[in-house]
Amino acid sequence: MLIRTQNLTHTYSVGTPFERTAIRGVDFHAQKGEVIGLIGHTGSGKSTLIQHLNGLLPPTSGTVFFDGEDIHASKQTTKRVRFRVGLVFQYPEYQLFEETVERDIAFGPKNMGLDTGEIAARVEEAAALAGLTKELLQQSPFALSGGQKRRAAIAGVMAMRPEVLILDEPTAGLDPRGRDEIMSGIRRFHRETDATVILVTHSMEEIARTADRIVVMNDGEIAMQGTRNEVFARSAELNAMGLDVPEITRVAMRLRAMGLDLPENIFTVEQAARAILTLKGGGPNAS
Amino acid sequence: MPNLIQTQNLTFTYHAAESGALGTPSAAAPVLREINLTIQRGTFVAVVGANGSGKSTLAKLFNGILLPSGGKVYVDGMDTLDEATILEVRRRIGLVFQNPDNQIVSTPVEDDVAFAPENLGVPPAEIRQRVDDALKAVGMYDLRRHAPHLLSGGQKQRVAIAGVIAMRPECIVLDEPTAMLDPIGRREVLDTVRRLNAEHGITIVLITHHMSECIDADHLVVMSEGEIVMDDTPKAVFTQADRLTELGLTVPPTTALLHELRKSGVDVPVDALTINACAEAIYKTFP
Amino acid sequence: MLRDITLGQYFPGDTVVHRLDPRTKICMVVVYLVALFTANDAVSMAIMACFLGLVIALSRVKLRLLLRGLRPLLIILTITGLLNMFLTPGEPIVSFWVFNISAEGIYRAVFLVVRIVMMVMGTFILTYTTPPMSLTDGLESLMGPLKRIRVPVHELTIIMSMALRFIPTLIEETDKIMSAQKARGADFETGNLFKRAKALIPLLIPLFISAFRRADELAVAMESRCYHGGEGRTRMRGLKFRRRDALTGLTGAALLAAVIGLVVLR
């Protein structure tokens, strides 16, 4: 197990009228190379959980293990883990500050204390993974388009070559093309580095397309987890938590209810089309 | 007069002084070119287009926040260039923006909603009435004494909508109002908007990236690079999936599936937009 | 945690303190501050403390909340206390190395710290119980006469109100950017002064850019809601003095008279 939390609880503003327990007794785990989709409505505790995974928030109680070691064992451990678990916040483009995109991407590697040659190599690699062209690297980050800024910010985390990459709603507010570019960057990063990816998103379509395993948070606890099949099959429960299954899955469910013999694991347009065509090819009496 | 908003050969270019900084487009090229668009009273119009296609600029031209570089915008027959009637124009066309945090001017909720009628010089007793009515219309009356920054995203956005309803507008223009919201918040806002249109007869212009949000619209306007490239019913627009993809947009997953099936030779109509209609259409192709 | 800062925030409520006319409250704060700085002995200070206690009780503002508001001032309070303790001349009761602590020093230190704490608490009660818009309206009305000498009173007060409104938003933003930069290994906590100042660049640049963007969007949103300056503006809550305001005024006058009387008579 690469990363694991044990009985993790976090309470904000302890001892004030605003005291609020955001997560309670959470046992979360992720294996090497896994892609996990983390879903749940706003305030369900997702953001609090992910900020524990790289040691940004200290647990109120419970433990976070990385590679078997308590990440708060010592200050050095925490600091090291911060580079091994990369966290991309929501709207990460608002953290850009350097004069050029290149220097901004280099901020993380520089803080790691790498030498100039290594930093340059990392920047180049991360920019390519995030889908940024060489010309863009010399520009001011503030001159880029919305989607490009977002990718530059994500590259800034990828450049640390984290073993776990966590992204909090990386496609929020972008147009469909912008969303596609971000998602293909993330998939490319996963393919080439075999890092663990934890994707927090409200888009069930993105989850359906990308995640091996889905973890659902509700009211500060893990409400369910499992494969796409296992989780999306419980659509009534998901609805009750303010979540949906992908629209295509709902179409497939409707068709099954009407009597078509479609398989249960339909989450994308391609899967649905293939299943329906197979059914058609299966003979005229398929219904 | 059925035409509420009418643009004639509307062209808009950001002046050098306004551009460059803070993410406004810096190119001197026109952001909008020869826009001829009519929005009829009581209709629900959706506007889609990739980032940078000029949608947000168009919204700000509707209520005279921006003024045409060429051509005209008429609201209820009033030219937005006429300073004498600009407040009347702004009263009639309420704007709601993407980030709810940046459009709430006061706390608690009811004081914020009172802001516009106060600016309009409405007598205090009537302001109270308008504020209460507006908050009831968006279902936020019970939270009228709350501090807005402690509300959820969907609630904040409904407060913002109440803030413009208190002007008793003819039309509400919403610029990506759901981009920063989770599925619950998105549903809250969309339901509110639809109800205002259906029950209160308020004209709605909804600018969005989410194709699923356009399904119920009377008209769907597609923008690209500062021009209107399609203006038709959603059904008619979504039949042109390839054209939309070229423009960096998508169709809703339901339509995508129907297109996919049609490409593989299944004789299925491509204009079934809702989940039920889509399932029906597919079911019918089975003997 | 930064997000614990409550400076200038309004906490909705429905007590007599909340319902007072904002002008009354502003005047009372002025009277209170004058009295507080006039008070120079234990008796007059005790009267002030009783008054503050009464207001806190009436406003139902949680004492915890007020204390939390003091947290950012902890350093100033400590320095004030220590300086006064060591530097006030007098008969030493404890002395070590070059420092002498006298009874006068301790008395002075406690006195000053209490005074600052009471000053801050008093003003916090005002912002905690008054919506920013009412505060703005009250100030604008009180400073009305200045309009005649062309002071842009409305503009000044609306700026103040917006500043108050955005404090929580910007605090939250600072917190977020800090976390994001920490996730990239930024270190805000160690190193010498120069190093720490330099470490703030990745925080301050995004924060400024964001503040400007917000200001820009806010201006557009305000104009879209027909804001066109103070001219012809009406108010939902018209300012109106009631009996409770008169009573409060009398209490204020009595307080001031009592404290001044005590000081003069001594």
Looking at the structure, tell me whether residues C43 and C118 fall in a common domain. yes
pLDDT at A244: 85
Q: Per the domain annotation, does A177 fall within a domain?
A: no
Q: Which of B24, B89, B119 to mutate to test the interface with C (most CBs of C within 10 A)?
A: B119
Chain B neighbours (≥3 Cβ pairs under 8 A) are: A, C
Which of A147, A202, A247 is the closest to B275 by Cβ?
Answer: A247
Shortest CA distance from B146: residue in chain C = C12
Q: Per the domain annotation, does A66 fall within a domain?
A: no
Q: Which of C184, C188, C190 to mutate to test the interface with A (most CBs of A within 10 A)?
A: C184
Looking at the structure, tell me whether residues C157 and C248 fall in a common domain. no
List residues of C whose CB lies inside 8 A of any A CB: 1, 3-4, 62, 64-65, 68, 176-177, 179-187, 201-202, 205-206, 209-210
Supply the DSSP string of chain B, one letter for each residue: --EEEEEEEEEE---TTTSSGGG----SS-SEEEEEEEEETT-EEEEEE-TTSSHHHHHHHHTTSS--SEEEEEETTEETT-GGGHHHHHHHEEEE-S-GGGT--SSSHHHHHTHHHHHTT--HHHHHHHHHHHHHHTT-GGGTTS-GGGS-HHHHHHHHHHHHHTT--SEEEEESTTTT--HHHHHHHHHHHHHHHHHH--EEEEE-S-GGGGTT-SEEEEEETTEEEEEE-HHHHHT-HHHHHHTT----HHHHHHHHHHHTT----S---SHHHHHHHHHHT--
Q: Element (H or E) spanning A166, and its range?
A: strand A164-168
Looking at the structure, tell me whether residues C225 and C245 fall in a common domain. no
Q: Which residue has the tokens 């293939």?
A: A274
Number of separate domains in chain A: 1
pLDDT bracket for residue B16 (50, 70, 90): low
Contacts of A42 in chain B (CB under 8 A): 152-153, 181-182, 184-185
Q: Per the domain annotation, does C77 fall within a domain?
A: yes
Q: What is the pLDDT of residues C181-210, one digit of tens each?
A: 999 999 887 778 788 888 899 999 999 999
Q: Per the domain annotation, does C147 fall within a domain?
A: no
CA distance C203 to chain A (A): 8
Q: Per the domain annotation, does C118 fall within a domain?
A: yes
Contact A68, A149 (CB under 8 A): no
Q: Which residue has the tokens 């009581």?
A: B42
Contacts of B282 in chain A (CB under 8 A): 251, 255, 260, 276
Contacts of A251 in chain B (CB under 8 A): 253-254, 257, 275, 278-279, 282
ipTM: 0.90
Which of C10, C11, C224 is the closest to B95 by Cβ?
Answer: C224
What is the mean pLDDT for each group of 10 consecutive residues in chain C (266 residues)?
A: 65 87 92 89 89 91 81 84 81 74 84 90 90 85 88 88 85 92 88 83 94 93 93 85 88 88 82
A-C contacts at Cβ under 8 angstroms: 67
Q: Which of A251, A278, A287 to mutate to test the interface with B (most CBs of B within 10 A)?
A: A251
Q: Does C182 touch chain B (CB under 8 A)?
A: no
B106–C132: do the CB atoms touch at under 8 Å?
yes
Q: Report the CATH architecture of B3-251.
A: 3-Layer(aba) Sandwich (3.40)
Q: Which of C154, C162, C224 to mutate to test the interface with B (most CBs of B within 10 A)?
A: C224
Distance from the first to the final alpha carbon of chain B: 50
CA distance B234 to chain C (A): 29
- Domain extent, residue C166, equals 153-233
Q: Per the domain annotation, does C168 fall within a domain?
A: yes
Q: What is the pLDDT of residues A49-62, one digit of tens each?
A: 999 999 999 999 99
Looking at the structure, tell me whether residues C126 and C22 fall in a common domain. yes
- Tokens in use for C161? 């109100």
Instruction: Tell me which of B17-31, B102-116, B204-218 is least confident.
Output: B17-31
Number of separate domains in chain C: 2
How far apart are the C-alpha atoms of B40 and C56, rounded to whole Å?
56
Q: Per the domain annotation, does C140 fall within a domain?
A: no
A251–B254: do the CB atoms touch at under 8 Å?
yes
Q: Per the domain annotation, does A257 fall within a domain?
A: yes
Q: Per the domain annotation, does A258 fall within a domain?
A: yes
pLDDT bracket for residue A284 (50, 70, 90): very low
Q: What is the pLDDT of residues A19-42, one digit of tens each?
A: 889 999 999 999 999 999 999 988
Looking at the structure, tell me whether residues C82 and C193 fall in a common domain. no
Q: Per the domain annotation, does C71 fall within a domain?
A: yes
Looking at the structure, tell me whether residues C120 and C67 fall in a common domain. yes
Looking at the structure, tell me whether residues C14 and C90 fall in a common domain. yes
The pair phi, psi for residue C2, each rounded to 5°, is: -60, -35
Looking at the structure, tell me whether residues C120 and C185 fall in a common domain. no
